[in-house]
């Protein structure tokens, strides 16, 4: 654990020391010319960060899974996290004290390249802005799937990604959106958001009524639910990340007869059909336009102070906590 208060050229950062221990370390400002950002909130990406803190990232994926400004190794120890909102601290700069979003580990202050920050527009609160990285994932998945007017959609797993997907798709005219989720509190949240639950105790799955299913639960049975829900030429978009855990996929039944497809979606590449006209900056601008909707505040159910993170991650290793969206609040907030 850290001791004392950081000096002007130091910050406090969260480090996963081993698969059993998480600490807060004091880190030094790097040499060179950097913009300084004082953290206000950051988002805990529960599924990914649980695998990271447990050391469950396959060695072959270490480079692909690395995040900007990460230190250490995903084989542990590592400084990790990737959706941080803070205030630009550049006295004399016209954007001094503006809220910015950046990809950065959980840290009280960040020193970053000017190209790596995105100025948050008016109408998006600091806490809601932490959803930006997950919202990019949801937008990209919808592009990958080619969702269109009138589609029947199933979202399997109502965590943050699933909730963002369902909320966006439900705004497309004529679509019917179902949610498959086991956790009672998340089922209630989905209904509170005006969504329909997928009734797995009926014969609905056998009817193969869905055009597209999005799988976000990171569970084998969730993937099977998604595959069983789609009909002829139906598509399953796989967004779950399993780390080093093997998953069995049953390709019997109607999989071949109905020419079903499973497609991976990952935010680090823009959907193929959009690449000629879209870049990461344009996609990020779209995300923040979407986040002007205050309804998304309902998905951020819990908050934790930065100093309490070591204990939080110790508990996270034993299983995900209740709630849906967990954000970190920093001392400067």
Token look-up 């823009």 returns 270
pLDDT digits (tens, 9 = 90+) for 229-255: 999 999 999 999 887 778 888 887 888
Q: What confidence score (pLDDT) does residue 2 get?
A: 55
Question: Among 300, 292, 302, 306, which residue's Cα sits nearest to residue 120?
Answer: 292
Q: Identify the structural domains of the chain with CATH numbers, from first to last.
A: 10-130+300-329 (3.90.180.10), 134-271 (3.40.50.720)
| pLDDT, mean over the chain | 92
Taking the C-alpha atoms of residue 189 and residue 172, their distance in angstroms, rounded to an integer, is 20
Q: Indicate whether this model's pTM tops 0.85.
A: yes
Confidence of residue 5 (pLDDT cuts 50, 70, 90): low
54-57's contacts with Cβ under 8 Å and 24+ in sequence apart are 54/19, 54/317, 55/16, 55/18, 55/19, 56/243, 56/244, 56/245, 57/243, 57/244
Q: Which residue has the higher pLDDT, 135 or 64?
A: 135
Helices of type H across the chain: 46-53, 62-65, 126-129, 132-145, 160-169, 184-192, 220-229, 280-290, 309-316
Mean pLDDT score, 198-220: 80
Closest by Cα among 128, 133, 131, 95 to 114: 95
Continuous H helices in 109-207:
126-129, 132-145, 160-169, 184-192
Other Cβ atoms closer than 10 A to 47: 21
* pLDDT for residue 84: 98
Q: What is the pLDDT of residue 257?
A: 85
pLDDT score of 6 more than 90? no
Phi first, then psi, for residue 329 (nearest 5°) are -110, 130
Whether 75 has a pLDDT exceeding 90, the answer reads yes
pLDDT > 90: percent of the chain: 80
Tens-place pLDDT, residues 285-302? 999 999 999 999 999 999
- Alpha-carbon distances, residue 44 vs 119, 126, 131, 188, 287 (angstroms): 21, 15, 10, 22, 18
Q: What is the pLDDT of residues 145-165, one digit of tens each?
A: 999 999 999 999 999 999 999
The Cα 62–Cα 75 span in angstroms is: 8
Q: Is the pLDDT of residue 85 over 70?
A: yes
Confidence of residue 201 (pLDDT cuts 50, 70, 90): low
Torsion of CA 190, 194, 199, 203, to 10 degrees: -150
- Give residue-wise pLDDT tens across range 247-286: 888 887 888 889 999 999 988 889 989 999 999 999 999 9
How far is the C-alpha of 257 from the C-alpha of 164, rounded, in Å?
A: 32
């Amino acid at each position: 654990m850290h001791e004392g208060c950081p000096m002007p050229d130091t910050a406090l950062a969260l480090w996963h020391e081993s698969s059993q221990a998480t600490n807060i370390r004091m880190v030094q400002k790097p040499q060179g010319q950097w913009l300084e950002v004082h953290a206000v909130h950051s988002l805990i990406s529960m599924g990914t960060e649980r695998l990271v803190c447990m050391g469950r990232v396959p060695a072959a994926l270490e480079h692909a899974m690395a995040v900007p400004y990460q230190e250490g190794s995903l084989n542990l120890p590592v400084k990790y996290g990737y959706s941080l909102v803070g205030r630009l601290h550049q006295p004399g700069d016209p954007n001094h004290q503006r809220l910015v979003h950046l990809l950065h580990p959980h840290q009280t202050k960040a020193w970053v390249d000017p190209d790596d920050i995105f100025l948050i527009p008016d109408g998006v609160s600091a806490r809601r802005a932490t959803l930006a990285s997950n919202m990019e994932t949801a937008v990209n998945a919808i592009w990958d799937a080619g969702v269109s007017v009138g589609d029947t959609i199933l979202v399997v797993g109502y965590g943050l990604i699933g909730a963002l997907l369902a909320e966006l798709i439900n705004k497309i005219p004529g679509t019917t959106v179902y949610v498959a989720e086991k956790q009672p509190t998340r089922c209630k949240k989905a209904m509170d958001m005006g969504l329909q639950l997928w009734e797995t105790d009926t014969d609905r799955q056998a009817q193969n009524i869905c055009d597209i299913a999005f799988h976000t639960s990171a569970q084998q049975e969730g993937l099977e639910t998604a595959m069983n829900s789609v009909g002829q030429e139906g598509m399953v978009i796989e967004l779950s990340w399993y780390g080093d855990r093997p998953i069995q996929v049953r390709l019997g039944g109607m999989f071949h007869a109905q020419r079903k497809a499973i497609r991976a979606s990952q935010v680090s590449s823009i959907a193929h059909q959009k690449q000629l006209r879209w870049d990461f900056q344009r996609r990020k601008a779209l995300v923040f336009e979407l986040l002007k909707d205050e309804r998304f505040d309902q998905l951020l159910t819990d908050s934790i102070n930065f100093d309490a993170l070591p204990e939080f991650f110790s508990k996270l290793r034993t299983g995900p906590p209740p709630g849906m969206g967990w954000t970190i609040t920093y001392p400067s907030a």
